[in-house]
Structure formats: structure tokens, C-alpha cells
A and B are shown apart, each in its own frame.
Chain A
């Protein structure tokens, strides 16, 4: 299948893409079935990726990063999806772009040296803990508290759906430092795995994304030093919101990358499989369905690139990014439905990668902001203004 190369990608981006693709085909794809079954991939993979500079794409060179741009990150996302599973890519991107980012952006120099540097090397794994049993999209409604006593904060509460909860050494945890202030009362803290009172209550069994470790965390009288506060007290909500654009763009790009792989697999299948004396592809209804899917996917990809371009230029990109995430997630799910359908019975069994894609991609319109929240942002921020 021919995919258009966008003018956003330079020779350097393409070189990086080729390296990631090569890495994925040699060091991830051969093992992904096993890791999916085990519900976890080896932590050593972080180190390996760290050596190759994959974990510090956009971080400053000073901390071991490469000072790359959003297009490097997008190439990375798209190529990781070539392993035909979304769990592993999600875990890695939570580490690189959804959690450690807070330490990189708002952390003190000491925090960056202590945490960010080993995270870029893959020696420490990072997670972000915001969602709670009673507060998901509604971040301001979290109930975990952090109360200051002199030089320490004491954390109490519970977190759910936390990616990397088994592997992570460091958690960026959102907690209320002022219960009366709503979203202005939220702060972000660094909590290390072995802190007394902090534990992984349960590893969650999910519909898909099995190679990614998702869990429920409990904080009982967890005492952390005052200097583990990230940035300023009361600013946590803004830090989280500020990172949403990156996070959602990555979600869009993963959806595009995974759908691309699924569509390529389906194309191959329909050109090999025969029914009623000809290739599946030679049945017009099949060919037209594939044409529709390829068209929708291209639209999702170009919208994602457009949003990335707006983000890269530094303007307010919340509308464009929300559109990209909404559209890519829904297109990818439609593609999953039709790709499975075209595989017939084979699409429903685990020997074919479409079955996994169908399960994994279902998270796309939920994680990192649901499709409903995306529509809300597009309507309120993009449409309802003079």
C-alpha cells in the first residue's frame, strides 16, 4: 500500500523512522505475542530504548535527550504500532510524553537530575496518576489529598487505570492540597514506588492493551518530602491540562499508526484469500470498502499532521488536537470493525492480528480524554465564540 509522505518529514525524520521500524521488527514484534499473554513486557526494553535515544526525543540534550521535534515523536508513535499491539506503545509513550513531562517542564534542577536523566536512559520508569474511582475526565473532582506537615506532605486516596503501575519507579501523583478550591486546589507530587503506605492494590484485567500494565493504586498516610512537590502548589490542574494537547496528539498518532498496520494486513489478506473463484479483493464490495477505509485513514492522518503542525508552531491548538484525536480514534475503530469483517471467521480468532487490534483500539476513544470530552472542547473552545 502506498502512503503519502508528508512534507513535514525531513530526511532526518525518515532516517529515524527507518531505525525505529527496524528496531520494532527485530526486538518487539517477535516477542509481542508472549508479552501480550504475560500481560507485561520486560522492563529491560526501556533501557534498550534509552540507549537508542527513543525515550528523550524532545527533551533537552542537557538531560540526555535529543532536542527533537513533534515529527520525531509522531514517527516514533506510528512505527511502534508496527508491532501490532497498542499496549506496549501506550506504556512507552506514557513514560516519555505523558508523565516525565511534568518533571521536565516544571521540576527543579535537582528533580530533573534525580528523575528525568535516568528516565531518558530508561533506568527509571515513570507513570502519571490522576484518574480516580470517582473522577476520570472530571479532573477537578479528584479526592486524593495531600496535607502539609512541616517539611512533608501526607497523601491519602486511591488512583485507578494507572498505566505502568507495575513497572514504574516514579509516579507523578495529582492530589488536592486545598479541598475548597476545586481545580485550583490540585498539586502534583513525585512519589517513589517504595514509599511506605503506597502500594499497587491490583493489576487490572482489560479488554485489550494486554502488554501494558494497568493498575489501581492506594495511598495510606504516604509521607513524602516537601521538595517532591512538582512546580507550585495549586498549579497541578494547569500542568495536567497543558500536557493534554501532546497527549492527545500522541493518542491520535497511535490510532493512525495502528489503523495503518491493520489496513495493510487486511489488504494483504484480501489479495491472497480467494472466494467464489476470485480474490476477495476482486469482489467490488470488498475493494470499495478498502478504498473507503484508506480514504478515511488518510483524512485522519492528515488532520493529525495538521494539528501537530499547529502545536509545533506554538499556538492554541486545543481545537485542532481535539478534532484529530476524536476523528482518528473513531476512524480507527470503524477500520477495526471492517477489517475484522473482511477477515471473516479468521478475524475473530487470536491467530490473526486483527482480533487484537479490534480489542486494543477500543481504548482510543476513551483514554486521554473521551470522544465526548473532545466534542465538548471543539464545541466550546472552537465553535462557541465570536
Chain B
């Protein structure tokens, strides 16, 4: 089975994010970047599927500046076979991303596309769904379990208030939720091997598609500062305040 996995370069969730004074974006100096954690789960799932089936190919794809090759290289070190980097300096919205991915899917013809359910930077949670629409493929979002049956794939989805089990025939799209798996570390031999693996670069212009964003970011504001908490002396006092002040019980 050939699996295409999307990899987005995002700020490390452990870095402190500061918004630029003019609200036009975030301060990017001294920020560490990592693979979008949901995409890392997607890579892990793809590797597990390949290992379980004993064959197949895991192809990574990222869209962005040349530096995104760092994240692709990490994915290759985890065990993916090769990678594609769509070089694109302009800002993209989810539809632009989905359109680029649709082109890559057309070229690569994977059996399955695995994506993070959302990227932790803009939290849009749209690219997977839009890609499914553009390709007219079935999709299962927020996957917490993926199993392959004879002619279809069965996905357990995390939905509000419970779990939903869906099935679809391949090819299709799965977006991953947090509890699907725990991604592996890239081993040192894996890192050494990744050196020789291919990262093919494609200029976005070569794809001949319109990626002009329909959505533009007008302003960013940092979250409101939290007021300091209150210390209580006893459980009774806590319960009392939860009842009378917070009015939650």
C-alpha cells in the first residue's frame, strides 16, 4: 500500500508564542520548529500500517519554504521512504493547501492519505476535508483507531460524546486524532539512513493551480491574560465558592 502523509512545519508547542505588536503575525525569531504533532501521529500510523502489512511505501509531503526539509528529514529518520517538498513562499489558506495536495495525489496515486486532523499553529482543521471533496474521496476524520479489513478500512472516530465507527473502500483520507498512537523516536541509525533518502522539490508554480487565498488573516491578538487564582484554606471553602461564586456546582 502506498501512503501519502502530510507534514507541516509548525512552532514547537513548548515555545512561548508572542504576537507582533502590529498584530500582523507572530514573532518568529528564536522559535524552534517541529513536525505538527498530529502529522507526527499520521507518520507513525503510516509506518505501523507498512510494518504490519510487510510492504508498501510511505511518502511524506510538505508545503512551504526550503527549511521545511528539516521536518521532512525527521520524518524520514522515523522511517518514511521518501519525501516531496512543494516550495511555496506565499501564505496559503486551507483550500490552497488542499488544491496543492490534490495535485500531488494525482501524481503519486496513493491508496491512502494520512493527515493530522489540524495543524497546531492555525488550528483550521479543514485541509483534510477539503482534499476529500476535491478528490471526491471518502474521508474519516479524528481517527483514534485504524484497521484494515478485506476491501475496506475501518476507522474509529472520536466525536462529541463518544466514538463512531465508519468504513470506506480505498482510496481515501484519514485525519488523525491525539489518541491514535504514540509516535516513535527517530533512532540514530534511522537518522543516519535518512541522509540518503530523497526529498524531491517541486516549485508550486509547476503545478499550474490557483492558490490565491480566499481567506486572509487581518489581525492577531494574544490571549487575554488570566487573572490570578485564589487560594482556599479548606475543601469546605472550595465547595462553598464553587457554589456561590463560580456557580458551577
Segment 322-363 of A: residues with Cβ below 8 Å from B: none
Q: Say yes or no: is A68 at the interface (Cβ < 8 Å to chain B).
A: yes
A117 shortest CB reach to chain B, Å: 14
In whole angstroms, what is the CA distance A53 to B77 when docked? 12
Among the 9-residue stretches B44-52, B172-180, B187-195, B224-232, the one with 4 or more Cβ atoms under 8 Å from chain A is B187-195
Nearest-neighbor residue (CB-CB) of B186 within chain A: A19
User: Which of A10-18, A149-157, A216-224 forms part of the interface with chain B?
Assistant: A10-18
Contact of B192 among A11, A22, A54, A67 (CB under 8 A): A67
Binary CB contact string for chain B from 29 to 58 against chain A (1 if under 8 A, 0 otherwise): 010001000000000000000000000000
Let me know if B62 is at the binding interface, CB within 8 A: no
**Most B-side CB within 10 Å, residue of A51, A52, A57, A68:** A52
B73 within 8 A of A: yes
Main secondary structure of the interface of B (DSSP, over half): helix
**Does the CB pair A12–B187 fall under 8 Å?**
no
Cβ of A72 under 8 Å from chain B: yes
Contact A15 B192 (CB under 8 A): no
Do the beta carbons of B188 and A11 come within 8 Å of each other?
no
The answer to whether B70 has its CB under 8 Å from any CB of chain A is: yes
Answer yes or no: A2 CB below 8 A from chain B CBs.
yes
Q: Is B74 an interface residue (CB 8 A)?
A: yes
Contact status A51-B187, CB under 8 Å: yes
Q: How far is the CA of A2 from the CA of B185 in the complex (A)?
A: 25
Return the chain B residue nearest A13 by Cβ: B191
1/0 per residue, CB under 8 A from A, across B187-206: the answer is 11111100100000000000
Please name all residues of chain B whose beta carbon is closer than 8 Å to the beta carbon of A22 when the two chains form the complex: 185
Question: Chain A binding site: helix, strand, loop or mixed by DSSP?
Answer: helix
Residues on A with C-beta less than 8 A from B191 are: 12, 15-16, 19, 53, 66
Which single residue of chain A is at the shortest CB-CB distance from B69? A11
Which range contains the number of B residues in contact with the other chain?
A: 10 to 19
| Complex contact A15–B185 (CB within 8 A) | no
Point out the residue from A11, A54, A56 that lies within 8 Å of B70, measured CB to CB.
Answer: A11
State whether A11 touches B30 (Cβ < 8 A).
Answer: no
Complex: chain A residue closest to B74, CB-CB: A15
Smallest distance from the beta carbon of A107 to chain B beta carbons, Å? 22
In whole angstroms, how far apart are the Cα atoms of A318 and B186 in the complex?
A: 34
Nearest chain B CB to A76's CB is how many angstroms away? 9
Residues of A within 8 A of B185 (CB): 19, 22-23, 52
A44–B188 alpha-carbon span in the complex (Å):
19
Closest Cβ–Cβ distance, residue B6 to chain A (whole Å): 20
Docked pose: A84 CA to B181 CA in angstroms: 28
Also in contact, A66 and B30, with CB within 8 A (given A11-B70, A15-B73)? no
Contact of A2 among B30, B190, B192 (CB under 8 A): B30
Query: Are the C-beta atoms of B189 and A11 separated by less than 8 Å?
Result: no
With both chains docked as a complex, state the minimum distance between the C-beta of A349 and any C-beta of chain B, in angstroms. 22
User: Which A residues touch B187, using CB under 8 A?
Assistant: 19, 51-53
Q: What is the CA–CA distance of A2 and B30 in the complex, to the nearest angstrom?
A: 9
Residues of chain A within 8 A (CB-CB) of B190 are: 53
Contact A15 B30 (CB under 8 A): no
Given contacts A15-B186, A57-B188, A67-B192, 12 further A-B contacts (CB under 8 A): A11-B70, A12-B73, A16-B188, A16-B191, A18-B74, A19-B187, A52-B188, A53-B188, A53-B191, A54-B188, A56-B188, A66-B192
Q: Could you list 28 examples of A-B contacts with CB < 8 Å?
A: A2-B30, A11-B70, A11-B73, A12-B73, A12-B192, A15-B73, A15-B74, A16-B186, A16-B188, A18-B34, A18-B74, A19-B77, A19-B185, A19-B186, A19-B187, A19-B191, A22-B185, A52-B185, A53-B188, A53-B190, A54-B188, A56-B188, A57-B188, A61-B189, A66-B188, A66-B189, A66-B191, A68-B188
